[in-house]
Amino acid sequence: MLERPRELGRKIPALASEFHVNARRRQAHGSPPPLPNLIGSSVLARRGREASARRPLVAPGLPLHTRACAPLQRHLAISPAAIAVDTAPILITGGAGFIGSALVRHLVLERGLAVVNVDALTYAGHRRSVAAAAESPRYAFERADIADAAQVEAIFRRHRPRAVIHLAAESHVDRSIDWPAPFVHTNVIGTFTLLEQATRHWQGLADSGRDAFRFVHVSTDEVFGALGSEGRFTASSPYRPNSPYAASKAASDHFARAWQHTYGLPVIVTNCSNNYGPYQYPEKLLPLVVRKALAGEEVPVFGSGLQVRDWLHVTDHVHGLVAALERGAVGETYLFGGDAERTNLDLVGLLCDLVDELADDRLPGAAPRRTLIRHVTDRPGHDHRYAIDASPTTKSLGWQAQVSLLDGLRETVAWYLAHADWCEHVLAGRYDGGRLGQGIAA
C-alpha cells in the first residue's frame, strides 16, 4: 500500500545561524573570504563575454557536471583576483529537494558562496542530498514550513539574506491528483507567506541592499497547459494549468508578479521544462524506470506513451537560475528548456537500453529490458506536449543548455546504479514504487 503523505506536524524550531561567527573566524585566521556578490556585476559579465569568444564552450575530458558548469564560469570570468568579502547568504527554499540540492551544492562547493537552506524535509527532501555542502562553514540549514509566517520571519531576521531563490514546492503531478491539499498549502500559501516576509525584510535593508536584493521565483512550464504538435512556450504564453500541481504553481507565479507590481519587491520569475539528473526522488519517471528495469520488474508507461516532454539536465537549470539571479531584469520572466523533446515511450525505451548497457547483471535469457515495458491506464487529464523556446533567455542572459540528452541520461543512469543505497534510504517507509495519480485518495 502507498503511504498517504504525513499531515503537517508541529513546527520544528529553526537552527541558529553561524554565518557571522564563521566570517569573523575566517578573517581572524587569514582564511580566504567567500566569493563576491555577483548580482549586477556588469564588468565581470563583459569580461566573460570577451573570454567566451576565445574559449571552447565545453572542456573535453572533464566529468559531465564539471563540464556543464564551465560555460557559466567562463561567462562570468570568476578568478581569485575578483574575490571580495561578502558574508550575506543567499536563502534557498526547498534546498534539500532535487533541484534545490543541486543549486545548494553548486553555490557552496563550486562558487564558494554562503547559503541558508530552508526545507521542511517532507518525504522528497533529504539532508543526504546536501551532505557535502553541509560540511562547509558557508552552509546553514533551517527546518521550517514556509507557510508558517513566524518561522519564516525569524529566518529572515537571523540570516538577513541578500537574495532568495524560491524552489520549495510539492511537485509530483500524480500526487497532486491523489492529494491536492498539500500542494495548495506549500505552493500557494507558502509562496504568499514567503513573499510577505521577503518584502518586509527587503524594505528594512539599506539602500544598497535594497538595490541588490532579488527574489527569484522558480516555476514550471506546466502552468501553460498543453501544446499541440507544433509551437513552443514563451514568456508571453497564456496560463492554462490542467493539473492541481500546475494550478498551484500558476497561482504562485501570479502572487510573485503581483508582489513585484504592487509592492516593488524585485522579483524574477523562471519556468523550466522537465528536469533530470542525480538525487531525484525515485517516484519521478527517470529514477523509477531505472530502478524497475534493474530489478527486472514491469516498467509502466501511461496510456500510449506518445506524450512529449522537453528534458533539461539539472546542472543546466542550476546555471540558468544563477544567471537569472545575477543578470536577470526585475519583473522579467525567463524560460529554461533543454531543446530535447522525446515521447515518454521513446525515453523509457532509451533508459531501458542504458540499464542494459551499464548494469552488471542481465535479464534471464539476456532479454532486452525494453521487453519489461507495459502500457497502463493513462493519468487523468494527461497533457500531450510541453516544449520551451529558450532563445529569448539565451539572448538576455547568455545562457544555453550544454548537456546533451544522451550524455546526461547515461551519466544519470550510471549515478542511480552506483547509489542504490541513497535510493533505499530516501524511499524507506515513504514510497513503495506503486501507481500514483488515479484520483482523490480516501
Q: So which residues are the catalytic ones? A: 221-222, 245
Beta strands in 246-400 (DSSP E): 267-272, 274-276, 299-302, 308-313, 333-336, 341-343, 373-376
Name residues whose C-beta falls within 8 Å of residue 420's C-beta, 6 or more positions apart in sequence: none
Task: Identify whether the C-beta of residue 4 lies closer than 8 Å to the C-beta of residue 122.
Answer: no
CA distance 1 to 93: 31
Only one residue has cell 527574489, namely 215
CA distance 216 to 35: 20
Only one residue has cell 526522488, namely 281
The amino acid at residue 246 is A
3-state SS, residue 214? strand
CA distance 204 to 195: 14
3-state SS, residue 92? strand
Only one residue has cell 557559466, namely 72
Backbone angles phi, psi at 410, to 5 degrees: -60, -45
